[in-house]
Every structure is written in C-alpha cells, then in structure tokens.
Amino acid sequence: MKEAKKIVNNLKNNQIKPLYLLTGEEPFYIDFVSGYIEKNLLTDDEKAFNQMVLYGRDVSVEEIINHAKRYPMMAERQVIIIKEAQDLEKSIELLLPYAENPTPTTVLVLCYKYKSFDKRKKLFKIIEKNGEVLLTSTLYENKVAGWIEETLREHGYGIQPKGALMLVEFLGNDLSKIFKELEKLMQIVPANQVITPEIIEKNIGISKDYNNFELHNAIGSRDIKRVFRIVQYFSNNPKENPIPMIVALLFSFFQKIMKYHSLTDTSKAVQALGISTFYLKDYQLAAKNFPPKKVSSIIEKLREIDMKSKGLGATNLPQGELLKELMTEIMK
C-alpha cells in the first residue's frame, strides 16, 4: 500500500508526527508501520526508558494519556505504541482532549486492527489534522498475486506467475502469512533469482502439480486423466485438501465461467471476472468446453456434494468417493 510506504519514508526523513492512527481490516500494513516505528525511532539505549508497547485490553485511556504527557529521559522523544487499540473502542473518545493538544516530544501510535475506526468521529478528524492516519483494507484475492510479484520485486526477486498463484491458493489473501513465506524464500534463494513453482514446492510444501489451480486447469481443458490424478492425490491427503474448500473454489470457478458466457464484450473479461490476466486463457478455454447449460448442472451438483460432505443425504461417504462422484458429473 502506497500510503503505508509513504509514512515510513517520511519517518526515515525525520518527518515524525506526534500521533498515528493505523486502522483497517488488513493488519499487515498496520504491523509494517508500527513495526518500523518500534524498531527505528529510538536507539537501543533510548528504548529502555522512552519506549512502551501496551495492549488495549490491559490499559485505560487515562493511563495512556498520563504516559503520553510525560517527557522523555535523555532522548529527543518517547514512543508509545498501543497494540490492539480496538479493545478500547468504548472509551477511546476520551483521548480527544490529548489529541487536540498532543505532547510534541511523544509519538503515540494507535494500532486499531481488523476494522476501520469510524471516520465520522471527532477523534478521527483531530488525529488526521494533528497527526497521521493510515486506513487499510483487505486485498481482494485476485490482486494478491500482483502484490506478491511487487513485494518480491522490491526486494530484488522475481517469481513465475504460477508460483504466485500457488501461494495465493495455499495462503489466501492473508498478507502477513504470505510475507512470512516470502521471507523464508528470500533467505533460501539467491538475490536476483526468479522463484519457480519447483522452489515453492520444495521449500514451502505446496505441490506444484496437485493443487486447486491445476485441477481447474485440467477441468477447463477437459484433461480427464489429469483431473482424476489430482482428485486421487486430494483423496490421499484430505487434511491438506478438505472437500469444503475444493467445492467452494470449484463453485467460484464455474460461476466465473457462467459470467464469461454472459459478457457482451469479452475483451473486458479480466475486470468483469475479477481475475489475473494469467488466468484469462484458462477461462476462455473452459467457457468453450462448458456451455451455459452444462455449467448450470455442474453448479447444482456442487451444491449437492457440498450437502453430502456435511452429512446431509449421504451416509458418511469418504471424501474420495464424493470427489470422484463430482468429477464424473463434471467431466461427462
């Protein structure tokens, strides 16, 4: 997120505000900014007397204000970081008088995670005026592969598109989890090297050949042998490949195929379907192989298998049998 990087760049240039409100559904950039402040604003010697990390559930607003009003000891400033500040939601407006006149030698950082601070509140507007506000939002899954590529590029690495998509499928849109895995890869792979699916498979444990991305590709191209090889792998490894996730991803896949059929201008398919351009050729081929009527019947079958997997209308059928039943219907 450009806003988070801008705040960090300003901090590096000694453009430091007395108040920071870091808030939103995506915690990665909140941790990114607060982590930089925690590690870099003070020297190790200064931190002993001038840096506090407190948690919203363990501290009151009154205590925060008292800490914030004191002056630093043998340092230019003090730093107070309030993690999980959302736990102070009911009383946080009591911070308003301090925010209107913050202590210039204090840097007070509020990490208000997993939801956005109400922008209509006066406190929000005062912090925006006298300090800095960072608003984060969850990154849509179709944007995460691009985020992975950009993040690695900033660190001097490349990644093959399939590799990025493997990480998205395995980790979803949890940027914190993804970044930890990227850090692991960057420690292993020499700088300026392209990260391949083989490297990801070897070091993270995601199969490059047996995953939902490959299953969708095999279904879309009507490669029956490959479909059932992948299904057999899933059946042998049910904990890593739970049927509810497989069904949910297939439901999304066929919904997008149906949406592709409804487009009057297929040149806008990437935006309309909310997919990476890397996926486009797969959806074009799948739409060719699965006409609308067939897609409708598959979606009905997916609903049926989903119910059976939850014990409705079936007597404890193993996951492997349900998957084979589903694939037989899809591929016939």
Q: Any idea which architecture 212-331 has in CATH?
A: Up-down Bundle (1.20)
| pTM tops 0.75 | yes
The conformation of residue 91, written as its DSSP 8-state character, comes to T
Mean pLDDT by 10 residues, the chain (332 residues): 93 97 96 97 96 97 97 96 97 97 98 95 97 94 89 94 88 91 94 92 89 94 96 90 91 95 93 85 95 96 90 74 94 92
Q: What's the confidence (pLDDT) of residue 314?
A: 55
Q: Dihedral angle at the C-alpha atoms of 172, 177, 180, 181, nearest 10 degrees? A: -30
Distance, C-alpha 136 to centroid of its chain: 11
CATH fold of 141-204, please? Helicase, Ruva Protein; domain 3 (1.10.8)
Residue 142, burial from CB neighbour count under 10 angstroms (0-12, 13-18, 19+): middle
Give 132-149 pLDDT, tens digit per residue: 999 999 988 778 989 999
Q: Which of these, 93, 161, 154, 156, lies nearest to 123 by C-alpha position?
A: 93
Q: Can you tell me whether residue 58 is helix, strand or coil? A: helix
Beta-carbon contacts of 175 under 8 Å, excluding residues fewer than 6 positions away, are: 26, 28, 29, 139, 144, 147
Q: What is the pLDDT of residue 210?
A: 92
* Sole residue written with tokens 């049926």: 304
In this structure, which amino acid lies at residue 276? Answer: S
Q: Which CATH number fits domain 2-136: 3.40.50.300, 3.30.1330.10, 3.30.300.30, 3.30.1490.150?
A: 3.40.50.300
Which of helix, strand or coil describes residue 21? strand
Query: How high is the pLDDT of residue 278?
Result: 81
d(CA 17, CA 93): 20
Q: Over the range 248-260, which residues count as b (16 or more CB within 10 Å of their CB) and which as e?
A: eebbebbebbebb
Strands (E), 74-193: 78-83, 106-113, 132-136, 158-159
Strands (E), the chain: 19-24, 51-55, 78-83, 106-113, 132-136, 158-159, 194-195
Single-letter amino acid code for the residue at 108: L
Domain ranges of the chain: 2-136, 141-204, 212-331
Say what the pLDDT of residue 315 is. Answer: 59
